Amino acid sequence: MTLHPQQAAIPVDTCAITLSAADELQLAQRLIGFDSSHPEGIRACTDFALGWLEGHEIRARTFDLEGLPVLDATVGEGPVTVVLHAHLDVVPGKKEQYIPHVDDEFLWGRGSYDMKGATAAMFAVMADLALAHAAAPLGIRVRLLCVPDEEDDKPKDIRGTEAAVQRGLIGDFVVCGEPTDLHVGIQAKGVLDVRIDVEGRGAHGATPWLGVNAIERAMDIFDALKRLPFAQASSRFYERPSINLGRISGGDRINQVPDKCTMDVDIRFLPEQPVEQVREELMSLALPGCRVTEMFRRPPAKVSVSDPFLQLLRTSAQLHAQPGTEVELVGRDGTNDGTYFLQRGIPSVEFGPTGSGHHGPKEKVTIASLRQYRLALLSFLDAVRADPEPLAGRVQHRPQDEHRDGPRSLV
């Protein structure tokens, strides 16, 4: 197997588990070649992934969720289960982004950073573990879970990860391969998406003083939203919550004063902020002629810095980090599917390779970080299997919190 110079430059002698012949860079290129921004492409990509796993003697299966496949693969048995969580879907991109290419440093293409690069490395880890398990029992179970809808922003009755959790495809610790530049994300903001419907009074555009402009009124309400107390808060990992006016619509003709305006606002609140507090403050905006409706929410993510799995993962990541680089514990502005595990009391973190441009036209991941990521995961899993008993049974599974993926009035 001929390695890219960036792969070959990463030392592997500090990793106790021998690498198989699987090449994370070549596999990442194959995955990027599938336009998995739509159902047909997702199914084709998953079929390829399933065949790849089976070709490496890895137990794998899929189950159907509203016409999309959720992939589950396992290696080993033991008292502790670690879940590697990935998603094969991507946001839409330009046609040329599905033609992967490499240069001296980067792998370019849609999903290279978010998150087919990390997914390929996880697949390679499973091949490495299968090879090791064939020689001697691993002593732990490692589960690879790939979902088809992490990037889907449309309301759904149930999502892939949530369905997998309900089916018992869980573990004692979860690593979500979202991009983190080889740092470890232990917090993520919660999501509360709301629709604000504002009424005005129509009039002729030549005499706007005879009406009430609903768009102008909506802008005043949005400014008031940004001044609410929750929006001024900060914490160790975050300067402030995130508030984005994602969509606005109003008015029929340029020569009319608009009598209606609708705003869709994406609010990302801090892990320390109770969602009830945020809701209560939003209700203060619901004056006569203004209605606030909850469209979607997802709880924040928060893992204790003293979690023993987390400590082993951070130590392993540091072992394979670039010299002079410190692996940090960070907060993530975006959400991730790890919240479905956290709701069951299962610690879940984000940990992924280095790159930039996710969801953009110039998405890329560093080739070296894909190899470092693979080695870090292997060293982490080797540390877990070295002494699994103290880690077993730490998680007390809780019933899943109420799921909301549809509108609910806050008024």
Residues 295 and 318 placed together within one structural domain of the fold: no
What CATH number has the domain bearing residue 213? 3.30.70.360
User: What is the residue-wise DSSP string for 210-254?
Assistant: GSB-HHHHHHHHHHHHHTSGGGG---SS-SS-EEEEEEEEE-S-T
In a domain, 175, yes or no: yes
| Of 82, 182, 177, nearest in space to 129 by CA | 82
State the residue range of the domain holding 207: 190-299
pLDDT tens across 104-120, in order?
A: 999 999 999 999 999 99
Residues 277 and 349 placed together within one structural domain of the fold: no
pLDDT at 226: 98
Residue 276 has pLDDT above 80, yes or no: yes
Q: Are 44 and 64 in contact (CB under 8 A)?
A: no
Residues 135 and 81 placed together within one structural domain of the fold: yes
Residues 168 and 247 placed together within one structural domain of the fold: no
pLDDT at 404: 47
Q: How many domains does the chain have?
A: 2
In a domain, 159, yes or no: yes
| Edge-to-edge strands, sheet with 290-298 | 242-250, 260-269, 190-199, 290-298, 408-409
Q: What is Dmax (Cα atoms) for the chain?
A: 84
Residue 397 has pLDDT above 90, yes or no: no
**Rounded mean pLDDT, 19-48:** 98
Quick one: pLDDT band at residue 53, thresholds 50, 70, 90?
A: very high
* Angle of the 117-135 helix axis to the 367-386 helix axis, nearest 10: 40
Beta strand 173-176 with 348-351: parallel, antiparallel or unpaired?
parallel
Residue in the structure block whose two tokens are 């018992």: 168
